[in-house]
Amino acid sequence: MRLSILFLILCLFSACSTHHESNKLGTIDFEQGLHEKNHFDLKDRVTGIKYIPFETKEECMLSDIRNIFKVQDNYVVQDTEYVYMFDPSGHFIRKVSTKGKGPGEYELLVDVQCSQNEIFLVSLGKILVFSATGDYTRTIPLDDLRLQAMSIDNEGNFYFIMPDKTQKKEITSIDLIHIYDKEGHFIRKVESKVVRHEAGLAYYNNIMNIDGVGVAYKELFGNVIYSINKNTEPDSLFVLSLNDSFFKKADFNRSKRHIWGDKYLLLDVFNTPKTNIFKLQKGLIKPTHEYLVFDKEKDKIHRPLFDENKLGLSCDGIKMHPVNQTGKTLLFTVDPEYLEALTEKNPNIKLEEDCNPVLAVLTFK
């Protein structure tokens, strides 16, 4: 099984612009957050919630959901092999593209991103572009087959993360991000500041986006979050205090496999007006996901509890997992173990056995 680690993240903190303008970096203490547990319910932070069961039928059986996007009024869902489109009520509309070698088809689905009006599928050496209704419109050729996970900025430029291979001691930097314009022309690259070497392993990385923010990233073994400004140059935004609970360079050695199950990686950040939600990965081989919540008003971070001291995020006692964000709206999937509780609280929701996931659309205050 290929070992995958996500080490680039996107985030926007409400205080980021202030810290950047004053050239002073704020610090968020993740180590403290792991030891601080408080009851937290998303219901107290939202103005509205809508549950949308994705239709369950043979031609749209979802496996492991990688991402969900809202494109105009519809929802575009990426799983491990395909991209599906559902209407606002969750009814299946169509697949977006399919496997093949013809126009608008892909041999390998590498990544998916969406804008307000277009859908972008990354395959080997190309970006397939589709309209908001899922119709194929054009192909953007790329000059490097290694270009993998992708993000898009507000100008329509594409950001690709390069695969990070084991480096020799004498290597002082590696190509981290390659930036292309909307026509697929190379603009520039961003090099890493923290270099991994002697790990004995190869990693495949990811890059994500939050609507209206632009691109930002954190290097795997660094503790600074960088944004990429309008000049496509990195700016330092925030310092994270990670300490011993998080993976360090020395931990990526096969002789230390016994500790891999207890260490954390930071995967993603979801920004709301009053709260930042940090998604963590615990372990490598069979990873699990946990969360930290940063209260901007109280300037405190903690692990969220619900339902008699269970770890995780919930809304009105229903456990759920964040997937993507558009402005103040966050998209979650309901935890499968809480589908019965969901239907008890919402009798109008009818679910079949072995049904597709249920989308929860939360609008934050």
In a domain, 40, yes or no: no
Query: Can you spell out the DSSP letters for 162-202?
Result: PPB--B-TT----EEEEEE-TTS-EEEEEE-SS--BS----
Q: Where are the beta strands (DSSP E) in 229-328?
A: 234-241, 264-271, 275-282, 288-295, 300-306, 310-311, 314-315, 318-326
In a domain, 53, yes or no: no
In a domain, 216, yes or no: yes
In a domain, 342, yes or no: no
Count of domains observed in the chain: 1
258 vs 303: CA distance, rounded Å: 25
Q: What is the mean pLDDT of residues 305-329?
A: 92
Question: Which is more confidently placed, 357 or 237?
Answer: 357
> Which tokens sit at 267?
């995967």
In a domain, 306, yes or no: no
> pLDDT tens, 93-107?
999 999 999 999 999
Residue 160 pLDDT more than 60?
yes
> For residue 131, what is the domain's CATH number?
2.130.10
- 166-171-172-176 Cα dihedral, nearest 10 degrees: -40
Residue 32: which H helix or E strand, with range? helix 30-35
Q: What is the mean pLDDT of residues 285-294?
A: 92
Half-sphere exposure of 57 (CA within 13 A, CB side): 10
In this prediction, residue 5 has a pLDDT band, given cuts at 50, 70 and 90, of very low
What was the pLDDT predicted at 155? 84
Q: What is the mean pLDDT of residues 279-307?
A: 91
Q: What is the mean pLDDT of the chain?
A: 82
Residue 66: which of 144, 4, 12 has the closest Cα?
A: 4
What was the pLDDT predicted at 10? 35
185 vs 102: CA distance, rounded Å: 23
> Which tokens sit at 290?
């946990």
> Is the Cβ–Cβ distance between 354 and 37 less than 8 Å?
no
Residue 331: which H helix or E strand, with range? strand 329-334
Amino acid at 253: N
> Is the Cβ–Cβ distance between 333 and 357 less than 8 Å?
yes
What was the pLDDT predicted at 138? 96
Residue 208 pLDDT more than 60?
no
SS3 31: helix
56 vs 112: CA distance, rounded Å: 22
Residue 21 domain boundaries: 16-31+64-297
In a domain, 105, yes or no: yes
Least confident of 18-27, 154-163, 304-313: 18-27
In a domain, 115, yes or no: yes
In a domain, 58, yes or no: no
In this prediction, residue 202 has a pLDDT band, given cuts at 50, 70 and 90, of very low
| C-beta neighbour count of 137 within 10 angstroms | 11
Exposed / middle / buried, residue 151 (Cβ in 10 Å: 0-12, 13-18, 19+): buried
> Is the Cβ–Cβ distance between 241 and 223 less than 8 Å?
yes
